[in-house]
Structure 1
Amino acid sequence: MTRPPLDLVPAEVPAHPLTHNPLNGVTGGIWRTRRDGRPAVLKLITPPGGGVGPVHWAASDDPGHWNYWRREVEAYASGLAGTAWADAGLAAPEVLGIDERPDGTVALWLAEVDGRPGTAGTVDDFAEVARRLGAAHADWLAEGGTRSADRYDWLARNWLRDYTSSRPVSEPVPWDHPVAVAAWRAPLRADLRRLWEERHGVLAATDRLPQTLCHHDVWPTNLLLPADGPVLLDWSFVGPGPIGEDAANLVLDTFFDGLVDVALLPDMVEAVLDGYLAGLGKAVDPALAVRAVRLTGAAKYFWLAPMMLNRAGGATGQTYDRRDEAAMFAGRLPVLELLARWSAEALG
């Protein structure tokens, strides 16, 4: 579908498709357009069975499922997206309308935000986002980690475990595939193999971390940077989760798809950790917070190298990363090395 349905956007109204993950069965399309004379973004939300993506991106009608199809609609309709982290200075777009359509889809209309895209962010920008993330997480920790979240049965129940466990990795993983041998040294492949084999223990360790409210998808394509403070997009995964996870994802996922220069990675690690710790303040022991970032980063991406190896020699299956296979393996090397270090440091 190149244009939204005519009952939502008439043919004479401009509608420009925006980049998104077309594999996710929840998303029927995203467009920059207009509503009631205002610049707007239209997101078409599709129920289970309406999408065409693979099984591991299928929409669910279970409100606690990691990919519950109505979660973002509910997050905006309830006001949670706009208020959850507002005290920490993290905003969400203004809701212009939510239209329930006869075919079962939902049109989510959001005000267009005028600001730099997250992919154009600087290390200082990301440090500030991390500081606000820390303050937001600390705010929810101060009230037992659940605060008013227990009012919403549509929050993801166990997002980190459910999402990572659903990634399509087939055994045996070809750890010595020629593409990997050419790009990744043997010690790194051994470390990534260890992380994969110890994934259940890694996830269990994250369960023992203090729990807060997580966005679960903080990365540059879900960030806008207007002058008056950052705005977070895509609240479709929101739910309880361990401290550190959003900060870890901000570091790792900023670089995995080649959208931001990987040469910034060392500065990014330091800036995000420092910012996150500053935001948390005295709510969490700093050593525990650092371990949480490392541990949740390992838990979030233990599947990535194995899945890349499963696909080596064929289609990469990537949505955002437009590099060829060799460039992708080489470009992800510094990030995977960091992931392996974080895993080793967190697990001891």
Structure 2
Amino acid sequence: MERGGRPAVLKVATPPGRPGVPAHWETSTDPAHWNYWRREALAYGDGLAGSVYAGIRAPSLVDYEEHGDGSVALWLEYVDGQPGTAATPAMLGDFAERLGAAHAVWRGRSTSEPWLSRDWLRAYTTSRPVSEPIPWDHPVAVAAWPDDLRAGLRELWARRHEVLRATDALPHTLCHHDVWPMNLVFDGSGPVLLDWSFVGPGPMGEDAANLVLDTFFDGLVDVALLDDVAEVVTSAYARGDAAVHRAIRLTGAAKYFWLAPMMLNRVAAGPAPISQSYDAREAAAMFAGRRRPLELLLSWFREALA
């Protein structure tokens, strides 16, 4: 697609009420909501997306159009480069170093834009569709996850509010809130960060934690790279600061305490797919494939609250 004589990507933001959207992904008209429907358009419109992080850019805004039905069309630069799913650990480490430096600049600073998300981590995680009782001993889970892993994930779920309270005490910065390989492209200018729908204040470490874990949860990157990616991303982001290392571990636990319970709910409900996003694996393969990143998540939880 072209716009203004150059390749462009069209994104259309629509008000809440679009048919077929699951309740836990519904957008909101509240500017502070974790999923405010106009946020990305505003982030591009006032230039925040393109200037907030030195050393990391966003696609440039090619054109912007308000439609009569209330929707907003964004034409964004088509970034021709290497997708994040094909990035090497060294490339992800370079990005994490840049992100850590940018977050350090924003550390402790307040932001005045009323459309930035507020308390995003708590609002997002507590809105995930998990119902009790959780079938921790479902046969698919028993086959894929050892007893100690299931017991640890059960403890993480039970202590989720304690984990979230602990993140409240962390230093805050200006987070992207959706840093993962599908939102990264590497071109000649360096890393390009896509999708600014969730941007807002949040705890240090959250974006780095998500980059490590969500690189592997959906099976889009070989899990054999997990240890290398975890080491290089956390080291590059924290730059020797033990408190920031702990923040990465704690926010990782806070971001994904719901994942195993939701997987168990869905496999027990059958026969619908376990994942409603990018992971197309059948249940047994998904449970097995997520074992190692869940083990890392559990180790982070235990270290952060030791």
Q: TM-score, normalised by structure 1?
A: 0.86
Q: Is the Cα contact below 8 Å between 2:210 and 2:252 reproduced in 1?
A: yes
Q: Deviation of residue 287 (structure 1)?
A: 1.3
Counting only pairs closer than 5 Å after superposition, residues 124-273 of structure 1 correspond to structure 2 as 124-141=90-107, 144-146=108-110, 149-150=111-112, 152-273=113-234
Tell me if 1:82 matches 2:50.
Answer: yes
Unaligned ranges ≥5, structure 1: 1-32
Q: Deviation of residue 37 (structure 1)?
A: 1.9
Q: Deviation of residue 319 (structure 1)?
A: 1.4
Q: Is the Cα contact below 8 Å between 1:51 and 1:59 reproduced in 2?
A: no
Q: Deviation of residue 318 (structure 1)?
A: 2.6
Q: Give the counterpart of 1:314 among 271, 280, 284.
A: 271
Q: Is the Cα contact below 8 Å between 1:223 and 1:231 reproduced in 2?
A: yes
What is the number of equivalent residue pairs in this alignment? 303
Q: What is the alpha-carbon distance in structure 2 between the residues aligned to residue 220 and residue 314 of structure 1? A: 29
Matched-pair identity in %: 65
Structure 1 SS opposite 2:75: strand
Amino acid at match of 2:305: L
RMSD: 0.9
Q: What is the alpha-carbon distance in structure 1 between the residues aligned to residue 178 and residue 236 of structure 2? A: 18
Unaligned ranges ≥5, structure 2: none
Structure 2 SS opposite 1:230: strand
Tell me if 1:338 matches 2:302.
Answer: no
Determine which structure has greater relative contact order: mean sequence separation of CA pairs < 8 Å that are 6+ residues apart, divided by chain length.
2
Question: 1:16 matched to which residue of 2?
Answer: none
Q: Is the Cα contact below 8 Å between 2:4 and 2:62 reproduced in 1?
A: no
Q: What is the alpha-carbon distance in structure 1 between the residues aligned to residue 275 and residue 184 of structure 2? A: 24
Q: Give the counterpart of 2:242 among 268, 287, 295.
A: 287
Question: 1:104 matched to which residue of 2?
Answer: 70
Gap change, CA 1:51 and 1:213, over 3 Å in 2: farther
Amino acid at match of 1:309: L
Gap change, CA 1:235 and 1:51, over 3 Å in 2: farther
Give the stretch that moved more between structures: 309-318 or 160-169: 309-318
Structure 1 SS opposite 2:123: helix
Q: Is the Cα contact below 8 Å between 2:85 and 2:182 reproduced in 1?
A: yes
Q: Is the Cα contact below 8 Å between 1:39 and 1:112 reproduced in 2?
A: yes
Question: 1:296 matched to which residue of 2?
Answer: 251
Q: Is the Cα contact below 8 Å between 2:217 and 2:293 reproduced in 1?
A: yes
Which aligned runs of 4 or more in structure 1 are off by greater than 6 angstroms? none
Q: Deviation of residue 273 (structure 1)?
A: 1.2
Q: Is the Cα contact below 8 Å between 2:176 and 2:198 reproduced in 1?
A: yes
